[in-house]
């Protein structure tokens, strides 16, 4: 089918469908709907046709999908319609240097949604403008994968609160300049979701919402090419359900059933759940596990072209009925595939696991060459998209750098992963890290790493050994990496607790429901007693918190830190990461235990012939710049410092 054919067919369908949509909406909304569909319907038509065009009842599904979009607009609260207008007028709002993200589990941070109200001052003090509340939906009490096995997208876990509270919270947050971010766990549901329950009771309509097979034949054929995601806890990708004598596709845990997006009815059903969430006031949806949403025999069923078509179709619909909403991709895969989801028409935002992994590599090796190489090749993004940069999440750390990038700096990928695993589990001689293995695969000998950033950076060991220098270096490593996250370009994201140096929590081992999943080591209850020391400068908590908060506040005064425009420099010193932002600010980070000296002028044009001032320490340099072990500098030409000092922080 060529573009022209799609265009003509779309125009015909649009002309036929609009009169049917009209009675659903009031005249103001209908006008908006018409204007937006005039722009986005041709794209939507083509995407849906490429996915479902061979279904005999394609036009029925098309109409159904468009009506759901209309009903979303009809039901959208006035405040959110207003927000739509504001965001449409300023679509790049999230590129602002004022943006600062935080993520937490509500139960572990504040107990309940109600309790969160009392913690908003804390978030504001830290400068947070983007708050990701980890899955808080109804889920099975035990088999829930930290909330990623959702039983209802419309009900909040009653232990945490209610959907009404969540929706009210989104308004409160917005009034404080904080955007609410939620997960859309759309690759699978829990086995307790109503659809799964109906499927289990034999209802074939709902069985078709999932991937189910009567015999092992087809699952075996698929498994030839599938990767095991949780090989230790949930080997294989299919689960036998004796109630219905069927194998059910379950990429992750056996109780998480993959949804079948080849079924347009399922697409429409999930669309409805998504639009429901959009109307609760969520501004960014984190699309969980995007690589896995389409299956095709003979492939590894990851990152297939149809996965992109699906997300683009969701996106086109959102542009029509809830345009304030953005998508963030969660694809923790090969860097090339990570990038494939990022575009204004698909996911405007994406986690940046590439930076995350290379930061940990540089910390372990004291060598920033892979970091420099990778950022040079892969950091730049299309216009109107942004990275969400972070050093750790609620998940494990897996060594997802590209082997070809590693080869370019003389590293063998497989050997290096082995080294990194040894290093971060503390087995490598001299390692300061206190990580634990996650999903060791005895066949490939692969594993991933769990641990809080402070414990992985050496703080736990340093405190245990009561060693001041080790403590100082561990703190500097934390600040160095967080500082890069703050300056490199994109939305910085912190896992709440990291700002006060939270260490590993080994108590999960005593809970039989958590013990098998080492990720719980880095998801402890927020330590409010430790946090109370955050403004006491001579405590470890205070040293971390105050430096971090200072950098966050400083960032908000530096317009050159907005958006992208990052230039990476190879300055010939393997320990240094050097980059500039919009040719106005130069960042120099030292990944080593020793002082380094660098004549920046030879490499970085803006450094040439300029006296440089470090905004973090106030020092000035005329000529060579010294960088202490694990130190980071934010340098700007000295004549520009006055202007920066005068600029008031942006709200
Ligand atoms: C995500 O992570 C979530 O972040 C996890 O907490 C969930 O367990 C999981 O999905 C299932 O919902 O494998 O180790 O490329 O790597 O989606 C974490 C994407 C994971 C996957 C990622 C997944």
Annotate 236-272 with DSSP letters as a single string.
SSEEEETTTTEEEE-SSSTTEEEB-TTSHHHHHHHHH
Ligand 1 pocket, residues with Cβ under 6 angstroms: 145-146, 148, 185, 229, 252, 288-289, 291, 330-333, 395-396
Q: Which of the residue ranges 36-45, 74-83, 245-254, 632-641 would you say has the lowest mean pLDDT?
A: 632-641
Tell me where in the chain the CATH 3.90.400.10 domain(s) lie: 188-258
The closest residue, in CA terms, to atom 10 on ligand 1 is 289
Span from the CA of 289 to the centroid of ligand 1 (angstroms): 6
Span from the CA of 463 to the centroid of ligand 1 (angstroms): 32
Tell me where in the chain the CATH 2.60.40.1180 domain(s) lie: 566-647
- Active site annotation includes 31: no
Q: Which two tokens stand for residue 200?
A: 């289990």
Residue 222 to residue 297: CA distance in whole angstroms: 6
Q: What is the CA radius of gyration of the chain?
A: 25
- Ligand 1 pocket test: pick from 182, 229, 520 the residue with the most ligand atoms within 8 Å of its Cβ: 229
Residue 492 to residue 499: CA distance in whole angstroms: 13
- The closest of 292, 266, 117, 275 to 195, measured between CA atoms, is 266
Note the CATH number of domain 566-647: 2.60.40.1180
Q: Which of the residue ranges 156-165, 167-176, 606-615 would you say has the lowest mean pLDDT?
A: 606-615
Write the pLDDT tens digit of every residue in 588-612.
999 999 999 999 998 998 888 789 9
Q: Return the number of other C-beta atoms located less than 10 Å from residue 524's C-beta.
A: 18
Residue 486 to residue 568: CA distance in whole angstroms: 15
Does 565 score more than 80 pLDDT? Answer: yes
Average pLDDT, the chain: 96
The backbone torsions φ and ψ at residue 372, rounded to the nearest 5 degrees and listed phi first, read -65, -45
Mean pLDDT of 66-92: 97
Residue 288 to residue 214: CA distance in whole angstroms: 28
Looking at domain 188-258, which CATH architecture does it have? Alpha-Beta Complex (3.90)
Please identify which of the residues 302, 330, 346, 505 carries the catalytic annotation. 330
What pTM was estimated for this model as a whole? 0.97
Contact between 117 and 106 (Cβ < 8 Å): no
Does 260 score more than 80 pLDDT? Answer: yes
Residue 505 to residue 527: CA distance in whole angstroms: 11
Q: Which two tokens stand for residue 262?
A: 């080849």
Q: Return the number of other C-beta atoms located less than 10 Å from residue 436's C-beta.
A: 20
Mean pLDDT of 486-495: 98
- pLDDT score of 473: 98
Mean pLDDT of 480-488: 98
Q: Which atom of ligand 1 is nearest to the CA of 396?
A: 14
Does 641 score more than 70 pLDDT? Answer: no
Span from the CA of 189 to the centroid of ligand 1 (angstroms): 13
- pLDDT score of 609: 76
- pLDDT score of 643: 59
What is the percent of the chain where pLDDT is above 90?
A: 93
Banded pLDDT at 648 (limits 50, 70, 90)? very low
At the topology level, CATH places domain 395-488+502-555 in TIM Barrel (3.20.20)
- pLDDT score of 649: 47
- The closest of 376, 490, 366, 363 to 433, measured between CA atoms, is 363
- pLDDT score of 645: 53
Mean pLDDT of 6-18: 96
Q: Which two tokens stand for residue 235?
A: 């080997």
Please identify which of the residues 288, 361, 405, 498 carries the catalytic annotation. 288
- Active site annotation includes 330: yes
Sign of CA dihedral 544, 644, 390, 523: positive
Banded pLDDT at 406 (limits 50, 70, 90)? very high
Q: Return the number of other C-beta atoms located less than 10 Å from residue 198's C-beta.
A: 15
Write the pLDDT tens digit of every residue in 439-483.
998 888 899 999 999 999 999 999 999 999 999 999 999 999 999
- pLDDT score of 650: 44
User: Hey, which residues does 564 pair with through a beta bridge?
Assistant: none
Instruction: Tell me the helix, strand and coil percentages in the chain, rounded to 5.
Output: 45, 15, 40
Q: Which two tokens stand for residue 70?
A: 């209309």
Write the pLDDT tens digit of every residue in 17-30.
999 999 999 999 99
Residue 288 to residue 296: CA distance in whole angstroms: 20
- pLDDT score of 644: 60
Length of the chain: 651
Span from the CA of 291 to the centroid of ligand 1 (angstroms): 10
* H or E segment and range at residue 621: strand 620-621
Tell me where in the chain the CATH 3.20.20.80 domain(s) lie: 395-488+502-555
3-state secondary structure of 598: strand
Q: Return the number of other C-beta atoms located less than 10 Å from residue 471's C-beta.
A: 18
């Amino acid at each position: 089918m060529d573009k022209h054919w799609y265009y003509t067919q779309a125009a015909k369908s649009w002309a036929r469908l609009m009169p049917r949509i009209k009675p659903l909406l009031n005249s103001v909304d209908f006008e908006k709907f018409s204007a937006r569909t005039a722009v986005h319907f041709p794209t939507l038509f083509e995407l849906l046709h490429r996915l479902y065009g061979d279904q005999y009842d394609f036009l029925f599904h098309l109409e159904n999908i468009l009506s759901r979009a209309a009903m979303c607009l009809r039901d959208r609260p006035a405040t959110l319609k207003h927000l739509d207008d504001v965001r449409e007028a300023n679509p790049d709002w999230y590129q602002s240097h004022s943006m600062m993200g935080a993520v937490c589990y509500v139960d572990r941070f504040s107990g309940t949604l109600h309790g969160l109200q009392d913690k908003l001052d804390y978030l504001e003090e830290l400068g947070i403008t983007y708050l990701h509340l980890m899955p808080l939906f109804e889920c099975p009490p035990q088999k829930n994968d930290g909330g990623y096995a959702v039983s209802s997208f419309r009900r909040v876990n009653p232990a945490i609160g209610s959907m009404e509270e969540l929706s009210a919270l989104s308004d409160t947050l917005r009034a404080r300049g904080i955007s609410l971010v939620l997960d859309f766990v759309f690759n699978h549901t829990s086995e307790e979701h109503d659809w799964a329950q109906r499927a289990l009771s034999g209802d074939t309509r709902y069985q078709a919402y999932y991937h189910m097979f009567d015999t092992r034949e087809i699952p075996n054929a698929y498994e030839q090419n599938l990767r095991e995601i949780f090989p230790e806890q949930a080997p294989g990708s299919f689960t036998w359900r004796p109630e219905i004598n069927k194998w059910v596709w379950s990429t992750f845990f056996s109780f998480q059933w993959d949804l079948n997006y080849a079924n347009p009815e399922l697409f429409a059903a999930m669309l409805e759940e998504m639009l429901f969430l959009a109307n609760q006031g969520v501004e960014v949806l984190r699309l969980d596990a995007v690589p896995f949403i389409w299956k095709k025999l003979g492939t590894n069923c990851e990152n297939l072209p149809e996965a992109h078509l699906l997300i683009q179709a969701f996106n086109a619909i959102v542009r029509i009925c809830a345009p304030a909403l953005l998508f963030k991709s969660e694809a923790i895969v090969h860097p090339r595939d990570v990038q494939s989801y990022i575009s204004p028409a698909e996911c405007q935002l994406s986690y940046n696991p590439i930076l995350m992994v290379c930061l940990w590599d540089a910390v372990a090796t004291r060598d920033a060459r892979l970091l420099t190489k990778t950022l040079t090749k892969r950091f730049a993004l299309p216009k109107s998209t942004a990275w969400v940069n972070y050093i750790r999440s609620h998940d494990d750390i897996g060594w997802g750098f590209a082997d070809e990038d590693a080869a370019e700096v003389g590293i063998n990928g497989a050997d290096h992963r082995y080294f990194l695993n040894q290093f971060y589990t503390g087995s490598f001689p001299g390692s300061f890290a206190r990580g634990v293995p996650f999903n060791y695969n005895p066949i490939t000998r692969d594993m991933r790493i769990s641990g809080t950033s402070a414990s992985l950076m050496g703080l736990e060991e340093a405190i245990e050994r009561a060693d001041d220098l080790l403590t100082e270096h561990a703190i500097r490593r934390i600040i160095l990496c967080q500082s890069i996250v703050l300056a490199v370009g994109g939305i910085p994201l912190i896992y709440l607790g990291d700002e006060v140096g939270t260490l590993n929590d080994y108590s999960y081992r005593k809970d039989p429901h958590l013990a098998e999943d080492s990720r719980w080591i880095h998801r402890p209850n927020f330590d409010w007693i430790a946090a109370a020391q955050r403004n006491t400068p001579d405590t470890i908590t205070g040293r971390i918190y105050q430096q971090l908060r200072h950098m966050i506040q400083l960032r908000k005064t530096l317009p050159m830190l907005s958006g992208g425009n990052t230039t990476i420099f190879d300055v010939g010193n393997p320990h240094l990461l050097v980059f500039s932002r919009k040719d106005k600010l130069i960042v120099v980070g030292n990944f080593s235990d020793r002082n380094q000296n660098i004549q920046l002028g030879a490499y970085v044009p803006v450094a040439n012939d300029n006296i440089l001032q470090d905004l973090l320490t106030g020092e000035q340099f005329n000529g060579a710049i010294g960088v202490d072990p694990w130190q980071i500098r934010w340098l700007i030409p000295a004549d520009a410092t006055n202007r920066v000092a005068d600029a008031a922080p942006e709200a």
